[in-house]
């Protein structure tokens, strides 16, 4: 099948590459000339484990193409994916200007029946708006379908190739057939393609992300309570998560959720509710709790240093909003960096993938270290903001010899409490005994 993907951001590039992998011919369209030139010359523009290999292979085999021309990109395409940014506008609602602009441009360019697919996370009712914009200039039949993506950064290729489910919103039998054929290779294990109307599909995406953000936030509050009641959140988490109605995943407490999706989608769903004259109270609470959770360890740090962080050197391990990505959008690390700098601390930071991105935002206000040990050298404390696997079993003997103080503030609960005691560390984590 011939497919076009408009927008070569994170979602677009993963979508385009993975559809090429199952034998489709895919052309990705982007207005950014420099980006398209880079992609055309075989250089990938995002970091995502496993993607580069697929990207290389499909370019070499002549199934994956890039262009800045919408007309050229959609030529003969049976399916046109819109994977465009929907940033939050000033009022918190998703801004549809990019999606609707492309929809308008698309109309006159359609030469034959095509299925236009909204892949971006968009508010309920967007498929209808896209439909109207395309109809302004279209002279042929077309359908607009909502097909939200549920990819997690860091494991996006796996999530795409083996999805738990595929959600497709359409009332058109013709579009349904096209989407069924496209996704058949991805649902061979019996994982379902769930068909529904467009509005329900659009809401499903927001509901899923908001539910997961709520699940994490609930556990963060349980963790905070554990600290006050002398309970251990690790035990509570296991005790709760083994109930199959609750499930083990997304129950890990920490210094809040970040990234480009949860914060934006929770906010957008709250705004959609407000616009519909419904006060979605849980979402307001989730946003409030997450905001304070990000800097949950700061009071402990201040207390440990008797209220004075001036001139104290703190090593920050992990900067990306989660492991296996270079993405720092809404990363809790950045909020902590701000707070610690305000207090006069000297920061030595390390992250395996995201330091270049952090440099663009934080500049030379912090020192960048090539390894976690370089950051810890002569530091007064370590602060862990992201659970990269390489931080899980560091050489504690080495650390003990290079740190000024054996104290770790861990926002991701990486270490066993007894082990840390044996090692002689003062160890603060989330929801556990100090
Ligand atoms: C999330 C969803 O998981 C995807 O299904 C969805 O497609 C995507 O948003 C999107 O809308 O595009 P992502 O933001 O990549 O994916 O990352 P997650 O793995 O969901 O993690 C989000 C945040 O929650 C991270 O900051 C992570 O540290 C935090 N988290 C996650 C916890 O604090 N505890 C947990 O137990 C799990």
Q: What is the ipTM of this complex?
A: 0.95
3-state SS, 125-181, equals: CHHHHHHHHHHHHCCCCEEEEECCCCCCCCCHHHHHHCCCCEEEECCCHHHHHHHHH
| Residue list for the binding site for substrate | 150-153, 205, 250-254, 258, 322
- What pLDDT is recorded for position 8? 97
Find, among 160, 161, 153, 158, the residue nearest to 46 by Cα: 153
Tell how far the Cα of 207 is from the centroid of ligand 1, in angstroms: 14
Task: List, for residues 114-173, the tens digit of each pLDDT value.
Answer: 999 999 999 999 999 999 999 999 999 999 999 999 999 889 999 999 999 999 999 999
- What pLDDT is recorded for position 376? 98
The residue whose C-alpha atom lies closest to atom 7 belonging to ligand 1 is: 150
The residue whose C-alpha atom lies closest to atom 24 belonging to ligand 1 is: 257
- What pLDDT is recorded for position 87? 87
Tell how far the Cα of 287 is from the centroid of ligand 1, in angstroms: 15
Ligand 1 site, residue 409, Cβ cutoff 6 A: no
Residue 232 confidence class, pLDDT cut points 50, 70, 90? very high
Distance between alpha carbon 172 and the CA centroid of its chain, in Å? 31
Ligand 1 site, residue 216, Cβ cutoff 6 A: yes
Ligand 1 site, residue 251, Cβ cutoff 6 A: yes
The residue whose C-alpha atom lies closest to atom 18 belonging to ligand 1 is: 152
Ligand 1 site, residue 160, Cβ cutoff 6 A: no
- What pLDDT is recorded for position 112? 97
Average pLDDT, the chain: 96
Sheet bearing 2-6, strands edge to edge: 64-67, 25-29, 2-6, 79-82, 114-118, 142-146, 166-169, 193-196
Kindly list the structural domains of the chain, giving each domain's residue range(s) and its CATH number in brackets, ordered by start: 2-196 (3.40.50.720), 205-293 (1.10.1040.10), 298-428 (3.40.50.720)
Task: List, for residues 325-375, the tens digit of each pLDDT value.
Answer: 999 999 999 999 999 999 999 999 999 999 999 999 999 999 999 999 999
Tokens of 125: 């009712």
For residues 271-286, give the mean pLDDT: 97
Q: Best substitution site from 160, 167, 261 to test ligand 1's pocket, by max atoms within 8 Å of Cβ?
A: 261
Q: In the predicted model, is pLDDT for residue 226 greater than 80?
A: yes
Q: In the predicted model, is pLDDT for residue 434 greater than 80?
A: no
Tell how far the Cα of 262 is from the centroid of ligand 1, in angstroms: 7
The percentage of residues in the chain with a pLDDT greater than 70, rounded to a whole number, is: 100
Task: List, for residues 51-107, the tens digit of each pLDDT value.
Answer: 999 999 999 999 999 999 999 999 999 999 999 998 888 887 889 999 999 999 999
Tokens 């997690």 locate to 152
Q: By three-state DSSP, how is residue 251 classified?
A: coil
Active site residue 18: no
What gap in Å lies between CA 46 and CA 10, rounded to an integer? 7
Residue 34 near residue 143 (C-beta atoms within 8 A): no
Task: List, for residues 35-55, the tens digit of each pLDDT value.
Answer: 999 999 999 998 899 999 999
Tell how far the Cα of 77 is from the centroid of ligand 1, in angstroms: 32
Tell how far the Cα of 286 is from the centroid of ligand 1, in angstroms: 14
For residues 253-280, give the mean pLDDT: 95
For residues 209-236, give the mean pLDDT: 98
The residue whose C-alpha atom lies closest to atom 30 belonging to ligand 1 is: 257
Q: By three-state DSSP, how is residue 410 classified?
A: strand
Residue 102 near residue 84 (C-beta atoms within 8 A): yes
């Amino acid at each position: 099948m011939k497919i076009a993907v408009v927008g070569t951001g994170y979602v677009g590039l993963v979508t385009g590459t993975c559809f090429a992998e199952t034998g489709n011919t895919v052309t990705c369209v982007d207005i950014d000339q420099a980006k398209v030139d880079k992609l055309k010359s075989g250089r990938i523009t995002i970091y995502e484990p496993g993607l580069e290999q697929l990207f290389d292979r499909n370019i070499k085999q002549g199934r994956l193409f890039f262009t800045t021309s919408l007309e050229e990109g959609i030529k003969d395409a049976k399916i046109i994916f819109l994977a465009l940014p929907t940033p939050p506008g000033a009022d918190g609602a998703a801004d549809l200007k990019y999606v609707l602009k492309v929809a308008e441009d698309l109309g006159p360019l359609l030469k034959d029946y095509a299925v236009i697919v909204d892949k971006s996370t968009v508010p309920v009712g967007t498929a209808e708006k896209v439909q109207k914009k395309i109809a302004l200039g279209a002279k042929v039949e077309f359908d607009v379908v909502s097909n939200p993506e549920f990819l997690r950064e860091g494991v996006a290729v796996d999530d795409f190739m083996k999805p738990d489910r595929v959600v497709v919103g359409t009332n058109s039998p013709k579009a349904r057939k096209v989407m069924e054929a496209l996704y058949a290779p991805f649902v061979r294990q019996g994982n379902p393609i769930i068909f529904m109307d467009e509005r329900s599909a659009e809401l499903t995406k927001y509901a899923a992300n908001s539910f997961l953000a709520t699940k994490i936030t609930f556990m963060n509050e349980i963790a905070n309570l554990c600290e006050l009641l002398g309970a251990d959140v690790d035990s509570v988490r296991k005790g709760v998560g083994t109930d199959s109605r609750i499930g083990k995943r997304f129950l890990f407490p920490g210094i809040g959720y970040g990234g480009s999706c949860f914060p934006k989608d929770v906010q957008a769903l709250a705004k959609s509710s407000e616009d519909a004259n419904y006060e979605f109270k849980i979402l307001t609470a989730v946003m409030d709790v997450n905001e304070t959770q990000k800097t949950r360890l700061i009071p402990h740090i201040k207390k440990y240093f008797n209220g004075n962080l001036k001139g104290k050197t703190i090593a920050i391990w992990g900067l990306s909003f989660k492991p296996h990505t270079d993405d720092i959008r809404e990363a809790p690390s950045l909020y902590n960096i701000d707070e610690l700098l305000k207090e006069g601390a000297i920061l030595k930071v390390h992250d395996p993938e995201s330091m270049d991105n952090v440099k663009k935002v934080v500049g030379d206000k912090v020192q960048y270290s090539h390894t976690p040990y370089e950051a810890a050298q002569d530091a007064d404390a370590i602060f862990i903001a992201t659970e990269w696997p390489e931080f899980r079993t560091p050489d504690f003997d080495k650390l003990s010899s290079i740190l000024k103080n054996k104290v770790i503030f861990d926002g991701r609960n990486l270490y066993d409490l007894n082990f840390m005691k044996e090692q002689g560390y003062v160890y603060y984590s989330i929801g556990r005994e100090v």
